[in-house]
């Protein structure tokens, strides 16, 4: 089914900037591209829009204009999502003139689409800006939405946390904790992608606001299944697309800046090359083992 969906999406969107059997990447504005997406084809959307704080890849808007713009593409995502699909929205903070300096963006967006909100997740990271006149920020929010209030995908066993304090504790002869680990809870302590000559993360690219692979992996594993389609309409450096491939999903990404599209393409090609090398080494080791066993 997903292969058919990917083909129908390509037919609607036209020639992609980059493609293979599992990936479609498009250069263009997400509102225009989302408007051409067929209805009910996307299993999961994971994204982080510009925060309206003056980054190099965005144009500053009034708060009202920004919220209206977000409402438009969030509603488009709802239409493109399958009946039991999900939407994960990551957002930080912005200033609301005369009201607040660091207002969580999700306070303005949480009810601006027909999606049903399951819960808010707090992403707590270690590195960040050091402040003098307020507490140093060390978290962002993720909102987990679903299209249908019942029957949505939630693969808890795929994201359990193995770091259990008393993993062998029993009650009435039975283990109190699942052998796979505990529920991760709604506060996620996952390292941010850092920069700098001495502390840059191994996955660091030239994009100034990069999704950590560990963060997206947890979302993709929890809210989709192998073979399904994952969309990121603000693709940036391609973290979502890479995670989709790593976990056996298919990916669609939109990006307005061709520089970042090239980052994504190079990243995906590098991952595919590494995967082929790993598979070749595994096959060689297996053949050697078979030879030794006679």
Residues 2-50 pLDDT 10s: 556 799 999 999 999 999 999 999 999 999 999 999 999 999 999 999 9
Residue 1, pLDDT > 50, answer no
Which pLDDT band, with edges at 50, 70 and 90, does 230 fall under? very high
Structural domains of the chain, ranges and CATH numbers in brackets? 2-292 (3.40.50.150)
Of all residues in the chain, what percent carry a pLDDT higher than 70?
A: 90
Which pLDDT band, with edges at 50, 70 and 90, does 286 fall under? confident
Residues 153-172 pLDDT 10s: 999 999 999 888 777 777 77
Residue 196, pLDDT > 60, answer no
DSSP string over the chain? -HHHHHHHHHHHH-S-SEEETTEEEEES-HHHHHHHSPTT-EEEEEE----SS--TT-----HHHHHHHHHHHHHHHHHHEEEEEEEEEEE-EEEETTTEEEEETHHHHTTSSSPEEEEEEEEE-S-----SSSPPP-EEEEEEEESSSSS----GGGT-B---SSTT-EETTEESS-TT-B---SEEE------STTT--TT--S-SSPPPHHHHHHHHHHH--TT-EEEESS-TTSHHHHHHHHTT-EEEEEES-HHHHHHHHHHHHHHHHHHHHHHHHHHHHHHHHHHHT-
């Amino acid at each position: 089914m997903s292969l058919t969906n990917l083909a129908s999406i390509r037919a609607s969107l036209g020639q992609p900037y980059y493609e293979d059997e599992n990936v479609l990447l498009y250069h263009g504005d997400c509102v225009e591209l989302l408007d051409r997406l067929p209805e009910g084809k996307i299993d999961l959307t994971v994204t982080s829009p510009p925060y309206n704080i003056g980054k190099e890849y965005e144009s500053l808007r009034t708060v009202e204009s920004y919220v209206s713009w977000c409402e438009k593409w969030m509603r488009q995502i709802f239409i493109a999502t399958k009946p039991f699909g999900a939407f994960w929205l990551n957002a930080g903070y912005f200033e609301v003139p005369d009201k607040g300096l660091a207002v969580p963006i999700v306070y303005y967006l949480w009810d601006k689409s027909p999606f049903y909100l399951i819960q808010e997740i707090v992403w707590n990271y270690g590195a960040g800006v050091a402040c003098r006149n307020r507490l140093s920020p060390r978290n962002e929010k993720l909102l987990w939405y679903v299209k249908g209030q019942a029957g949505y995908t939630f693969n808890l066993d795929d994201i359990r946390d193995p770091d259990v304090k008393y993993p062998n504790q029993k009650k009435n002869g039975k283990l109190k904790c699942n052998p796979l680990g505990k529920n991760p809870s709604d506060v996620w302590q996952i390292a941010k992608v850092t920069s700098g000559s001495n502390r840059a993360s191994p996955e660091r690219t030239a994009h100034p606001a990069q999704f950590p692979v560990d963060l997206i992996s947890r979302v993709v594993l929890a809210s989709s299944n192998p073979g399904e389609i994952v969309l990121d309409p603000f693709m940036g450096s391609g973290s979502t697309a890479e995670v989709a491939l790593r976990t056996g999903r298919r990916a669609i990404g939109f990006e307005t800046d061709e520089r970042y599209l090239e980052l994504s393409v190079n990243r995906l090609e590098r991952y595919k090359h590494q995967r082929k090398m790993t598979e070749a080494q595994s096959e060689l080791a297996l053949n050697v083992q078979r030879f030794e066993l006679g």
